[in-house]
Amino acid sequence: MFVLNKYLKFKWIALILSTFCLLTFSSCKTEDVIIEDDKSLIYSKYKKEVNVFCCADDGNASPTCTMIASLLSNIPRDQRLTVHVVHFEDEAMSEENISKLSSLKNTIRDFNLAFIPFDRKKIENFKNEFWHKAILVKLFAADIFENLDEIIWIDDDVVVVGNVAEVYDFDMKDKYLAAVDLSYYYTNYSNEKCDYWLTAGFGFYNLKNMRRDGIKDVLLRSCEYYTKNSEEIKKERRIVGGIEEYALTDGIPREKVFLLPHEYSIMSFLGLKGTYFEDISENIKNGKIIHFAGLDKPWKNHKIKGIHPFFYSLWREYFKMTPYFDENKKFGS
């Protein structure tokens, strides 16, 4: 949970406060911006373990560590939690980076951290300019985690600002995936029309149902189709949000998708478009996920040209909690 106070009520005050926080980093405390003293972060109602997975190697160790720091900060302290880091067999994370991720156990809260190798040969048939390995790894989630019935996926360009364990409250029934459809917001705050866009930055997978119905094979066929017809699809602009995301979610029938509320995927790049930021103020108050989708990543562009200052300040506060912050002081300026 995080504090907005009058930030969301008065736009001009919000911009002043955001700019002030960015310029006076040393005096801007984490609890002032993000975390309230909430008893719900002490005791969890979920007795079973919460499992989260992501895809990471040395190339994205820093943003992955920031994502995990934000996750740990917003999961009740007594909640059993395991974070599974999937990587290619030949791209294992270095001992130094493993140590940095593991250090969060001592600085924030205890959790289980597992590293799982993945055979890249399984996805060699889908190599092209569109496919990112993290997207393709998701196709095999039901196989990778064969002993789990449910799991949460979180991208590295995400900060968690609420208790995402609450996703376990939703009754998935016969659904395969729980995700946010952002088509309404994209259509209303951008110049492009979109009737269906499931965001891929955060998702809740019902692995039991996926295994039962062989959904992996369905998704692989979907990816094969989009791989062969990518140029035509790109030209016709039949997709929004990246062809790889569309291929992944298009393989799942819409009736098999549980639609999460908007607070599970608040998009940073829309924050500067029109009145989006003001219009979703209630979503932000109850927010769970801030997704830094698009080209403007906070760890790559500390000038935050394409990111709303408030969203950037959230990311920066969690980045401060990681060992990588001291190596990148520019992100605190």
Domains annotated on the chain, with CATH: 5-332 (3.90.550.10)
Q: How confident is the model at residue 250 (pLDDT cuts 50, 70, 90)?
A: low
The Cα 209–Cα 174 span in angstroms is 7
Does the pLDDT value for residue 236 go beyond 80? no
DSSP designation for 181 = B
Could you count the other beta carbons within 10 Å of the beta carbon of residue 220? 18
In terms of Cβ atoms closer than 10 Å to its own Cβ (0-12, 13-18, 19+), residue 37 is: exposed
Model confidence pLDDT, tens digit, residues 154-202: 999 999 999 999 999 999 999 999 999 887 777 776 666 667 778 888 9
Under the banding of pLDDT at 50, 70 and 90, the label for residue 42 is: low
Q: How far is CA 193 from CA 135, 185, 190, 242, 280, in A?
A: 24, 10, 8, 14, 20
Whether the predicted model's global pTM rises above the 0.85 cut = no
pLDDT value, residue 11? 37
Predicted confidence (pLDDT) per residue in 122-149, tens digit: 877 766 555 567 777 888 899 999 999 9
Is 50 exceeded by the pLDDT of residue 287? Answer: yes
Residue with the larger pLDDT of the pair 233 and 1 = 233
More confident position, 305 or 150: 150
pLDDT in tens, 46-73: 667 999 999 999 999 999 999 999 999 9
How far is CA 194 from its chain centroid?
21
